[in-house]
């Protein structure tokens, strides 16, 4: 039985880092050569996909990367707004086009060849829709090792064990307040103090200034904070913190951040007050608690071990198998 050639792959990159990283993570894991097509949305991008259909109306063509022939054999997208773009490219291509999507495309799933939906979104019972725990990500063992070598001396003066604290912020209409930041700082401090360790904290553009200041005022242990407002490093040491950490604390407003931390296999503490996260995110966190992958921050000062779920291997196995079947069904015309 013949094997298909390496396909021509486009990744449709949403402007939001947490969303685009899911699509890029799938592309990297597949091991096929790929191009990243950065998209910028137009005012029409807010329209429902049932109206946008198969079109480029939702993107600003002047500010987005060029989407012209030769079109790819494979398109990878994430998030609702990339779905009409993927469907448009497929409709314009003279060759078969294999569509991979993660997160709910908010359009007919049958327009895609593989759809990967978080379990907490409620995956439909269709042959080409696959439930996954959390979100696709770009964290691999080799990247963690590379980041460790790159950053280990930078923070060597801080005592071990180091606890990474990944701070998100305002999301889905929820506000990360100074009170939340204070609570997070005190609980993270208690964990580091109990372990005679230190904190490696990174903030994001979603972390508002008042919350950052509140955190700084309530940390009472050795720490370093990457403050996005006035960075003192050339790049965010986010991956370095994942590599150097013995345990990880994550705010629960980002499924992507929680999934990246989970992929390290290190003890994972989630900070997610009910008023800070939407119900489906709470459901995701509960799945992690129930399966022994994570604990609520403040519920324990002890560390533990677990085997992390291999979400990316599941995705690549499914995609490779589905792609080969389609290629063979079409008579090796891809």
The answer to whether the beta carbons of residues 274 and 233 sit under 8 Å apart is no
Q: Which residues pair with 115 in a beta bridge?
A: 101, 129
**Average pLDDT value for residue range 262-266:** 97
pLDDT at 1: 47
pLDDT tens-place string over residues 113-160: 999 999 988 766 678 899 999 999 999 999 999 999 999 999 999 999
pLDDT at 4: 61
Is the pTM here over 0.85, yes or no?
Answer: yes
pLDDT tens-place string over residues 267-306: 999 999 999 999 999 999 999 999 999 999 999 999 999 9
pLDDT at 292: 96
pLDDT at 303: 95
Confidence tier at 172 by pLDDT (50, 70, 90): confident
Confidence tier at 179 by pLDDT (50, 70, 90): very high
Residues 285 and 272: their CA atoms lie apart, in Å, by: 9
Q: How many residues does the chain have?
A: 334
Answer yes or no: is pLDDT of 2 > 60. Answer: no
> Residues of the chain with pLDDT > 90: what percent?
85
**Average pLDDT value for residue range 323-333:** 75
**Average pLDDT value for residue range 189-208:** 96
pLDDT tens-place string over residues 230-249: 888 888 999 999 999 999 99
Answer yes or no: is pLDDT of 333 > 90. Answer: no
Answer yes or no: is pLDDT of 315 > 90. Answer: yes
Lowest average pLDDT, out of 14-18, 65-69, 99-103, 184-188, goes to: 14-18
pLDDT tens-place string over residues 57-97: 999 999 999 999 999 999 999 999 999 999 999 999 988 89
> Residues of the chain with pLDDT > 70: what percent?
96
pLDDT at 325: 86
**Average pLDDT value for residue range 30-34:** 95
**Average pLDDT value for residue range 200-227:** 95
Residues 250 and 277: their CA atoms lie apart, in Å, by: 13
């Amino acid at each position: 039985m013949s094997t298909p050639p390496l396909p021509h792959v486009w990744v449709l990159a949403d402007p939001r880092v947490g969303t685009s990283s899911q699509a890029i993570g799938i592309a990297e894991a597949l091991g096929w050569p790929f191009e990243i097509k950065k998209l910028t949305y137009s005012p029409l991008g807010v329209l429902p996909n049932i109206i946008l259909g198969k079109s480029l109306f939702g993107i600003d063509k002047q500010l987005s990367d060029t989407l012209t022939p030769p079109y790819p054999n494979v398109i990878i997208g994430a998030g609702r707004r990339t779905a009409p773009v993927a469907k448009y490219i497929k409709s314009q291509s003279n060759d078969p086009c294999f569509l991979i999507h993660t997160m709910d495309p908010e359009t007919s799933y049958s327009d895609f060849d593989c759809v990967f939906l978080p379990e907490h979104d409620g995956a439909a019972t269709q042959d080409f829709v696959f439930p996954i725990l959390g979100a696709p990500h770009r964290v691999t063992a080799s990247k963690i090792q590379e980041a460790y070598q790159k950053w280990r001396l930078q923070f060597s003066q801080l005592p071990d064990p180091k606890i990474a604290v990944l701070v998100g912020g305002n999301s889905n209409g929820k506000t990360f307040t100074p009170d939340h930041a204070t609570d997070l700082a005190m609980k993270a401090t208690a964990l580091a103090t109990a372990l005679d360790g230190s904190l490696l904290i990174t903030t994001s553009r979603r972390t508002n200034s008042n919350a950052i200041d509140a955190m700084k005022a309530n940390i009472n242990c050795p720490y370093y904070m990457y403050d996005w407002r006035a960075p003192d490093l050339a790049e965010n040491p986010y991956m370095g913190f994942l590599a150097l950490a013995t345990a990880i604390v994550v705010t629960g407003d980002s499924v992507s951040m929680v999934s990246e931390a989970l992929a390290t296999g290190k003890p994972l503490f989630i900070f997610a007050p009910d008023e800070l996260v939407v119900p489906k995110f709470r459901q995701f966190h509960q799945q992690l608690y129930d399966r022994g992958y994570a604990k609520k921050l403040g519920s324990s000062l002890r560390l533990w071990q677990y085997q992390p779920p291999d979400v990316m291997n599941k995705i690549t196995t499914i995609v490779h198998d589905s792609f080969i079947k389609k290629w063979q069904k079409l008579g090796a015309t891809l």
